[in-house]
Structure 1
Amino acid sequence: MNERTVTVEGDNDLVAARKRAALSVLLNMILALVKGGAGILSGSAALIGDAVHSAADVFASGAALVGLWIAGKKHPSFPFGLYKAENIATLVIALAVIMVAYEIGRDALIGGETIPDTALALPVAIGSLIVAVVFGLFQLRCGKKLGSPALIADARDYLVDGASTGVVIIGLIGASFGFALDRWAAGAVSLFVLWAGFELLVDAVRDLLDAAMPRELVHDLSSLVEKQPLVSRVLGCVGRQAGGRYIANLDILLRTNDHLVADRVADRLEVLVKKEFPRIVMVHVRTHFGHSESHRRITPVIDHGGAMAEGLASAPWFMVEDLDGQTKAVTECAFVRNPHRDAPKRRGLMVGQMLMELKPDQVIRPDGHAGTALALLEEAGVDILRIGEEK
């Protein structure tokens, strides 16, 4: 997979996120109209407040949609896209939710005691609860899959909307038994909405202030890099969030003093990281050189006697030797069976990937032999030597 493929995948994610945000706008509009109409006809202040919440969600979801649309735009000053537009959209959502909470709470404080008509209001509230929770869970799953903070914020808003509708239902059930709980239910709805608004506000500000990459991502990224040939270890891995994307900086210690090899390894790692972690839109690899106490040499052999095989991918065994970094004496020797020797297709690719997992510094190739496995190893910076050229 090349960088163009990675970019296309990111663009496809944005398109999918926009479609779901547009669906959210339509659904919130329907919920607002249905709950508002039922609240007015039934005289339920709590249901009207819940309708106001949904109406605000129309604006909030619209802001998410606009943010997702802007995020995919390219500009010379923003070569990796305006991904932080999603965080700005999340901030707008948070402020809108806090304003709605204030309005609902104010109406609950100054409103009078009433007992609404539950025959109309209760079925509408129950139906709205089911729709909000089901769509909220669906939106949350999609947001996490696509790495979109705007969709995740929208999903949380739906789930909070469902919780507030649940409080409305409790008030309406009490009203059906003659208890005037509607006003108190409206007040409880405002607290739910206020809590959700402040949570979203904190998340948006945190991302806008360049919060660090999640620890799990740092660990997974470091593990991937340390599995590559010539990489002794990751000295440092730091990154920051950029909307639903990340920018990463890696410092790695290599078992080579060849600057050309180091540059090739760094270039390959930058492409590999973007391939394995599509949410990382930019990665910079800084290489460092250090004395290695040992290095590893792999030779394709016929058997444990060490006789050279005629080909690399078709070799029955591989002799893996660890050599002292100064004296070059063999300190350890093992034989690894080639499990892909008889593979009908992609044998060279599979053997090359297997050998890279062994992290060799050198691979001895049979005379005149070339192929996919050797190309992969050479691209990773491994020294490809003929028999007799061992260093």
Structure 2
Amino acid sequence: MEVSERTALMGMALNFFIFGIKYVSASASGSIALKAEAFHTLADFIASLTVFVGLKIAKRKTKAFPYGLYKIENLMSVVVALVIIYSGYEIVLEAINAGATELKNSPIAIASLVIAIIATYVFSRYERRVGKKINSPILLADSAHIHTDVLSNAVVLIAIITSLIGYQLDKIAAFIVAGFIFKTGVQMFLDGIRVLLDASLDHETLSKVEKIILETPQVIELKKLTGRNSGRFKFIEADIILKAYYLEKAHFIVDGIENRIKDKIKNIDHILIHYEPLQKEETVYAFPLTEDKALINSHFGESPYFMLVKFKVGETIASEVDIINNPYIKIEKGKGILAAELLTQNLIDYIILKNDFNSKGPAYVFSNSNTAIVVVDERTPEEALERLGLGYDANTVVDKEKLIVEAIKF
């Protein structure tokens, strides 16, 4: 049995026990208010039973309800909220209609109310902690309902005590408490209705999901992100553009995003990510260059410059050739990884090398961004491109002497 179900059963047992002692005390004392409060607690027992049934039904999935019956929790929350509002109405009527009553065995009535106040307060705090931990709207609603019982019990207790000393303050206190009860009930009702009407997830949760998606190197753009609650569970849907040209690779990337979201955010039931490949109008080849900018450098991370050669789709002569500085060349550790990240930001498709990577760092960066690694024997970029059936006009070379505006990581 889940913790939510155990908590609901405990609430049922508590309410039935308190109903018993209140009814016995009301019979012994002759207090109409205490008798009304006893039947109010009986209504709470029925509400707790509703909570338990809701929890049992909510987690089921059927062919007719493939996404589960999670919203039963929110529906039951609305029902409990209406019970809270009705409880406030009862107290108002009781305050208006109650007349002077001569009480007997007042210590018994007072003792029963003190026990009820302590028990309901302790349990409402416990149920609230459990409800927050598992994000259960129905437990949170029930804990709020039970907490209002502390107030209603206090009203009756004040009425009994003040009647003993000759002051009648119970009506004023009853109206004040009824105001709090109405406020709690209306808030719980609106929260439940909000989920039933498929309102959006809270901004904080959506921001966390957005951050996780955009931190993925292969994600070029997040086009759309929506989410909704269903009971304690969350459903998320996103549209993204991926730098991935193979279906198997795209599936792998999306699976990784979904797993990271589920690790970071509780109670995710379903994530649906629609993805489409990046529609590029050009293919970009990158070369690490030597100091003289003429040869392919054998040491990727030590390269002072990189050449970016861009080809329009379907063309074999480059449309643009840029030479950019490597701003990380003087960094002692991790320069290869940082240089690889710099090139992936330029959306390169191929990195042309004289030697394959000895370390896994840059290779991992390029693999994650779907950049193909090509190892060649040729000495110059012109020779390497010629072997691939490509070329460029020397007049198109743009030598960008300025360092790229980039935060260098030490």
TM above 0.5, yes or no, is yes
Aligned match for 1:228, one of 216, 219, 223: 216
Whether the 8 Å contact between 2:212 and 2:257 is mirrored in structure 1 is: no
| 1:352-373: CA deviation from partner (whole Å, max 9, x where unpaired) | xxx99x9887898985989899
Q: Is 2:45 aligned against 1:51?
A: no
* Letter of the structure 2 residue corresponding to residue 155 of structure 1: S
Work out whether residues 296 and 320 of structure 1, in 8 Å CA contact, stay in contact via their aligned partners in 2: no
The match for 1:160 among 148, 152, 156 is 148
Number of residue-to-residue matches in the alignment: 350
Contact 1:236 1:251 in 2 (8 A): yes
Q: 1:388 to 1:268 in 2, by over 3 A?
A: farther
Q: Distance in 1 between matches of 2:307 and 2:125?
A: 52
- What corresponds to 2:269 in structure 1? 281
Measured in 2, the distance between the counterparts of 1:209 and 1:383 equals: 44
Residues in 2 aligned to 1:70 and 1:373: alpha-carbon distance in whole angstroms:
51
Q: Which has the larger radius of gyration?
A: 2
Contact in 2 for aligned 1:255/1:292 (Cα 8 Å): no
Partner amino acid, structure 1, of 2:218: L
Task: Calculate the TM-score normalised by the size of structure 2.
Answer: 0.69
Q: Which residue pairs with 1:170 in the alignment?
A: 158
Asked if structure 2 preserves the Cα contact closer than 8 Å seen for 1:112 and 1:183, the reply is: no
Return closer, same or farther for 1:324/1:374 CA change in 2, 3 Å cut-off: closer
Any idea what the Cα deviations from partners look like across 1:114-169, whole Å, max 9, x if unmatched?
A: 25454223333233222222221221121111011111111111222222223333
1:198 aligned onto 2:192: no
Q: Secondary structure at the match of 1:237?
A: strand
Tell me which residue corresponds to 2:79: 92
Q: CA deviation at 1:287?
A: 2.7
Counterpart pick for 2:167 among 176, 179, 188: 179
For 1:6-155, list aligned pairs within 5 A.
15-114=2-101, 116=103, 118-155=106-143
Larger RCO (CA within 8 A; separation ≥ 6): 1
Per-residue CA deviation, residues 159-197 of structure 1 (Å, 9 max, x unaligned), is 222222233333333233222344555555555444433
**Identity %, equivalent residues:** 26
Moved more, 255-264 or 215-224: 255-264
Alignment of 1:302-321 (within 5 A): none
Separation in 1, partners of 2:71, 2:15? 24
RMSD (Å) for aligned C-alpha atoms: 4.3
Distance 1:293 1:73 in 2: 50
State the SS of the aligned residue for 2:275. strand
- Output the CA distance in 2 between the equivalents of 1:57 and 1:208: 23
CA spacing shift, 1:122–1:371, aligned 2, 3 Å: farther
**Secondary structure class of the residue paired with 1:246:** strand
Ranges in structure 2 where 5+ consecutive residues have no aligned partner: 289-296, 311-319, 386-410
- When the two structures are superposed, what TM-score results if normalisation uses the length of structure 1? 0.72
CA 1:253–1:111: 2 relative to 1, 3 Å: same
CA 283–64 in structure 1, closer or farther in 2 if over 3 Å, else same:
same
